[in-house]
Chain A
């Protein structure tokens, strides 16, 4: 069975600091994708960043970057220069065969 584990239920940091959210996964598939989605208080699910498993280079999107360790099955999200608008639930998801397996989420609070 495929699983996704987010071990940090809640984190809080000061505005402008850097924060790293952890995610580990388990799969026997060779072809898969990994995603981080953000869910702000508005409830809308928003894609933050995506990583193809066959790519060794870590994905980056502006202030968001990942540390993808394929052998360790780890996929952490780093948010640099955190902003108040980054306050949200963050979900890690494993995608294969057109389905997503979700972690339980990490609640991130950015303090002014």
Chain B
């Protein structure tokens, strides 16, 4: 039981490049989330999904897209990376019982 995994753990991009972050969970959770965490700050919600095939915008969605084609996977895409997107990205998942969220280890992204 791996919980929530994220790929890759680190990535460096040049401005304008694109990339996709992959999140996978093996807990059969309905809900999945993408957050970003900037230095000295809490988590800010980028996008989330309440089930397979559904996505919704969070607090800071601009510059990102997501897809949830399979229940266990939630992809975060950056079409044209900008230095302002340098951050640590966390994926989380949650079940129907309560609002607890389980987190992946994070991806540190640097955009030069």
Contact = CB atoms under 8 A, between A and B. Distances in A.
Instruction: Specify whether A and B are partners.
Output: yes
Interface of A: 32-33, 35, 43-45, 47, 50, 52, 91, 95-96, 98-100, 102-105
Interface of B: 31, 33, 40-45, 48, 50, 88, 90, 92, 94, 98-103, 105-106
Contacts of A91: 42-43
Nearest to A46: B103
A100 B92 CA distance: 11
A99 B93 CA distance: 10
B99 A102 contact: no
Contact of A52 (B40, B88, B98): B98
B42 A45 contact: no
Contact of A44 (B45, B98, B105): B105
A45 B99 contact: no
Contact of A99 (B45, B88, B105, B106): B45
Contact of B48 (A35, A95, A99): A99
Given A43-B105, A99-B48, A104 B99 contact: no
Contacts of B102: 47
B103 A44 contact: yes
A102 B36 CA distance: 12
A50 B102 CA distance: 13
A33 B105 contact: no
Which of A45, A50, A96, A104 counts the most B-chain CB atoms under 10 A from its CB?
A45
